[in-house]
Structure 1
C-alpha cells in the first residue's frame, strides 16, 4: 500500500491568521484517516526535486475543500494552474479528498460556468485520479457537464473522522428543544441574514464558534471601547457588510455584541483544542458553518445544519445530516419549533454505514494505506 504526500488544505494554522479555520477539520480528518503521509510545502517542478519525491511517496493527496467557484473567478483560482502544472510534472496518482463547488442555494448546473484555471485543474485531476471524491450530486453533475465523468460522491472525509463503521449521531437528550442557550454552540456565516437566532444567542450567552470571524477575533483581543468608531482602523477594516448593516440599522447593539464576543467567542486554529473545548459542555449546535457543526458532532454535541448554499445542501443531502433551510428561520417560525422538527438523526444513522463503506472502498481502490476499520458486514 502506498504513502501519500499532501497538498491543499492544511490541518492547522497559525493562531490569529486570517483563514477559514473550519477547513482545518477537513485537512485534519484526511491526515487522521490515512496511515502515513508527508507534507508537500512547495509546488516545486525542478526535475531533481520531483525525482526525490517519487522515491518518498506513491500518491499525491489533494485536500480540496470548495475548490470550484461557480460563475466567479476569485483570486485564489490563479493558483489552480500552478497546482495543475505540479501534478502533471510529478506524474503520480492523485487521491482527492472532499472536492466541492461553491454556488448559491438555487443555482443550476445548466446555468453554471467554471473559470479556465479551475477547469484545467479539474481535467488534470481527472487524468491522474482513479476517481475524484466529491461532496455531492451538484459537484458531480457540474464536472460531468465539462466531460469529467470519474467523480464519485463521497461527501466529506470529516464525517468519518472516528474511523468507525458503527459511529452514531450524538444522542439527542430528552427536551433538547428547550436546551438553554448558554449550552448552545452557534456558528455564523452572514450575521445580517441569521439575526433570528444570532440575537437570542447573544442575549442568552450562547457560545459563538468562529471560522472566518476575523473581526470578532480582533474585537475579543482589543480592550473594550465605548463605540464602534473607537476601534483601531485595522480592526474596523475587518467588518463585513453584514456587520456594518446590523450596527447601522440597530439590529444589533454594538456594546451588547462586543460584550458577548469578549465573553463567549472562540476561534480555534487546530482541531484537537477545538474538540477538547466542546466535549461535555454543550447540548446543541446550530448554524450555517458546515465544519463547525461537524466538529460539534464529533465532540458529542447534536447539531442542526442551517442550509444557505449549494455546498451545505449537497453535504446534508448525501450524508443525511439534520438540517433546516435558512429561510425557515427568516419566515417567523419559532426557533424551538424549527429545532424540534428538524433535529432528527435517523437518516444520518441509517445511511452512515453505507457511506462509510463507500469511502473505505474508495481508499482501497486507490491503493493507499489508511486507518479505517473494515465496514460492517450486515448493512
Structure 2
C-alpha cells in the first residue's frame, strides 16, 4: 500500500527528527510543524510513501493520502492551490489536526470564502471523518458544510504513543524550581495575534519572573532569528549581545532587562529528541508557543499559556489547561498551575486520545498509540 503524505515538511537524520542550523540554512524550519509531522508518522503504520506539497500535482498512483493538519482555515490561505493538489490525488483523503486561525474566535470569518468551502467539500466527499484541533475549528467547519467531524486536538500531544498524565513536581512550589519559557518575540499585527504589543511586552514579565523566582531558567527560542542568534554559541559574544539587545528592544524591556540576561538563559534545540530531553529537566514551561509548552505536557509536566489568538485559546479550552490573555495583568503562573485542576486536564486529554484513535481507525490507518 502506498500513501501520499500531503504537506509534510519534516526532515530527519539517522532516525532523529532534526533540522539544519537556522543561521546557515536557506530553509527556516518550523519546530512545531516538525513535532506534528514526527508524531503522525510515529502514530500510524505506513508502507511506501511519497511526499507532496500544496500547489503541486501528484503524478503517480497511491492508495490513500494523509494530510498533515495545520491552521489552514484562514482568509490568507491559497485554497486554489490546495484544492488543485487534492484534485490530483485519486484516492481517499484523511486530514489529521485541521485548525482554524483568527485573532478572535469569530466562527463566521470564513462564511464568504468559496475556496474554503471547496476544500471542505473535498474532505467531506473523500474522508470518513475530519480530525480537528478543537471546538472553534469544528464550529467554523460546520458553517462551511463539514460532516462527521472529530475533535481530536493536535496529534503531536501523543508523540510518545502514550496518553500524557500531568502531575505537579514537588520542586515547582519552591525556589529550587526549574522553569522554561517558550518565546515568540516576533509577534506582529496579523491573523496570528490580536494584541501584538501586549504579547511582546508580556515576554518581559515572563522573563523577569523566571529570573527572580526560579533556580534555573531556560528561555526557548523557536525559530525567530534574533532569538536564535542569542543562543548560538558559535557566534562571537558581541553578536549574541547585539541580538539580545534587539530582542529586548522589540519587547520594550530596555529598562528591566540587560542583554546578558538573555544570553545567560537562551536555549536552542535542533531536534525533537533534544527538545523533549531538555523539557524533562524542567518542572514546568510557561509562555507563548503552543508546541513550546506542549513539550512539558509530553513529559508529564504542567504548563501555562499566555494567549493572543484563537488557535492557542482553542487548544487550552480543549485540554483544560491554565492560561491568561496577554491583555490581562500579570498573574503568578506557578501559583495558578499549582491550584489548577489537572485531573480535569488529564481527563480531557484522554478523551482526545480516544478520538484520535477512532479517527485513524475509521479512515483505514492502523495506529500504535
Q: How would you bin the TM-score normalised by the shorter chain?
A: 0.7 to 0.9
What are the residue-to-residue correspondences of 1:277-292 with 2, within 5 Å? 277-279=278-280, 281-292=281-292
Q: Report the counterpart of residue 138 of structure 2 in structure 1.
A: 140
Q: Which of 188, 210, 217 does residue 206 from structure 1 map onto? A: 217
Q: Does 1:59 align with 2:58?
A: no
Q: Which of 347, 357, 364 does residue 367 from structure 1 map onto? A: 364
Whether the 8 Å contact between 1:67 and 1:99 is mirrored in structure 2 is yes
Whether the 8 Å contact between 1:36 and 1:370 is mirrored in structure 2 is no
Deviation per CA, 1:216-269: give whole Å up to 9, x if none: 1123333233998x66xxx99xx68x843515xx3443xx2x323333222334
Decide whether aligned partners of structure 1 residues 39 and 319 sit closer, same or farther in structure 2, where only a CA change above 3 A counts.
Answer: farther
> Aligned equivalents of 2:31 and 2:90: distance in 1?
31
Please state how far the C-alpha of 1:158 moved relative to its aligned partner. Answer: 1.4
Decide whether aligned partners of structure 1 residues 169 and 308 sit closer, same or farther in structure 2, where only a CA change above 3 A counts.
Answer: farther
Q: Which runs of 5+ in 2 are unaligned?
A: 12-18, 185-198
Whether the 8 Å contact between 1:179 and 1:283 is mirrored in structure 2 is no
Q: Which runs of 5+ in 1 are unaligned?
A: 373-379
Q: Report the counterpart of residue 18 of structure 1 in structure 2.
A: 28
Q: Which of 191, 200, 224 does residue 191 from structure 1 map onto? A: 200
The size of the alignment, in residue pairs, is 338
Q: Does 1:33 align with 2:30?
A: no
TM-score, normalised to structure 2, is 0.80
Which segment is superposed worse, 198-207 or 154-163? 198-207
Q: Which of 73, 81, 96 does residue 68 from structure 1 map onto? A: 73
Q: Hey, which of these two has a bigger chunk of helix by percent?
A: 1
Q: Report the counterpart of residue 342 of structure 2 in structure 1.
A: 345
> Aligned equivalents of 1:118 and 1:252: distance in 2?
45
Q: Report the counterpart of residue 236 of structure 2 in structure 1.
A: 223
Q: Which of 42, 50, 60 does residue 50 from structure 1 map onto? A: 60
Whether the 8 Å contact between 1:184 and 1:284 is mirrored in structure 2 is yes
Whether the 8 Å contact between 1:21 and 1:267 is mirrored in structure 2 is no
Which segment is superposed worse, 6-15 or 92-101? 6-15
Q: Report the counterpart of residue 154 of structure 1 in structure 2.
A: 152
> Aligned equivalents of 2:35 and 2:239: distance in 1?
36
Whether the 8 Å contact between 2:164 and 2:298 is mirrored in structure 1 is no
TM-score, normalised to structure 1, is 0.78
> Aligned equivalents of 1:94 and 1:144: distance in 2?
18
> Aligned equivalents of 1:117 and 1:6: distance in 2?
22
Q: Which of 177, 198, 209 does residue 173 from structure 2 map onto? A: 177
Whether the 8 Å contact between 2:183 and 2:221 is mirrored in structure 1 is yes
Decide whether aligned partners of structure 1 residues 127 and 289 sit closer, same or farther in structure 2, where only a CA change above 3 A counts.
Answer: same
3-state secondary structure, aligned to 2:323: strand
> Aligned equivalents of 1:192 and 1:31: distance in 2?
37
3-state secondary structure, aligned to 2:4: strand
Whether the 8 Å contact between 2:168 and 2:338 is mirrored in structure 1 is no
Which segment is superposed worse, 151-160 or 36-45? 36-45
> Aligned equivalents of 2:99 and 2:50: distance in 1?
22
Displacement over 6 Å in runs of 4+: none
> Aligned equivalents of 1:3 and 1:370: distance in 2?
16
Decide whether aligned partners of structure 1 residues 102 and 64 sit closer, same or farther in structure 2, where only a CA change above 3 A counts.
Answer: same
3-state secondary structure, aligned to 1:356: helix
> Aligned equivalents of 1:276 and 1:314: distance in 2?
27
